[in-house]
Amino acid sequence: MSGAGVEAPPARPDASRQLSPWTWRDVVLSLPLIVVLGLLLGFGLVTTVIPLLPPDDHALRTAVSSFLVSLAFYGGVVGAVLGLVTLHRHAPASALGWRPVSVRWLTAAIPLAIAAYVLVVVVGGLQNGMFPADHCGQARDVIRAYPRYHALAVVTVTLIAPAAEETFFRGFLYGWLRGRVPPRSAVALSALVFGLAHLQPVVLIPLFLLGCMLAVVYERSGSLLPGIALHGLFNLVGVTLIFSTTC
């Protein structure tokens, strides 16, 4: 029998290739929104908090100012993304990857962070050997921004920055690319933008590799939480070494 007249069931859409409800226009629009929100938050925080600090403690005023500026910038990032996704596109925050995940993924963040740091150190060392650069520049910037009050730097780079950056680069940017370009291209493009956004040519290749790993973790786990944990642990090692550097 040929089976004529028997209709095949409709093909099920591939859930892993579903398009995000936000488009490239939202991605582009997010940039000026981040700037505007960041400036507004920064102005409000700095003008409110700094006058309350002891005027003769310059180290404290510098560290708190750096913390508040970072908090405002990352607050602008999260605010812009959530506004575009939840208010403009009427999608839930879970569409950005803000959803629960199994404990095994969170515990996996520890060995993954160690592996990521080893990989970044090796690749960074090879890159510096071929193209010598001022590898202490970033360390000096952090030390100048957070003199003595290192705890503020730790909070910034291990909690605030990872949550905001994973929301933008993995949840928002990779979430837009995912399904619109081949999977490997989505991983590579989002990781490249992640590396370029740090404005540190000396760490571009290492950060590109870290971005690739974070995108894969997000894709496999379906949640931003493991990537945030991995990212935070990675940054914790980095900032600890920065404050112990002799640069």
SS (H, E, C) 194-219: HHHHCCCHHHHHHHHHHHHHHHHHHH
Q: In degrees, to the nearest 5, what angle opens at C-alpha 68 toward C-alphas 49 and 53?
A: 30
To the nearest whole number, what is the mean pLDDT of the chain? 89
Q: Distance between alpha carbon 117 and the CA centroid of its chain, in Å? A: 16
Q: CB-based contacts of 9: which residues, under 8 Å, 6+ apart?
A: none
- Check residue 203 and give its pLDDT: 84
Query: Whole-angstrom Cα distance, residue 116 to residue 111?
Result: 8
Joined together, the tokens standing for residue 78 give: 């999260």
pLDDT surpasses 80 at 27: yes
- Check residue 127 and give its pLDDT: 67
pLDDT surpasses 90 at 247: no
Which residue ranges make up each domain of the chain?
21-243
pLDDT band, residue 14 (cuts 50/70/90) = very low
- Check residue 43 and give its pLDDT: 97
What's this model's pTM, rounded to 2 decimal places?
A: 0.90
pLDDT surpasses 60 at 34: yes
104-147 pLDDT tens trace: 999 999 999 999 989 888 887 776 666 666 666 677 888 899 99
Query: Whole-angstrom Cα distance, residue 73 to residue 168?
Result: 12
Burial class (CB in 10 A: 0-12, 13-18, 19+), 59: exposed
CB contact at 8 A, 69 and 46: yes
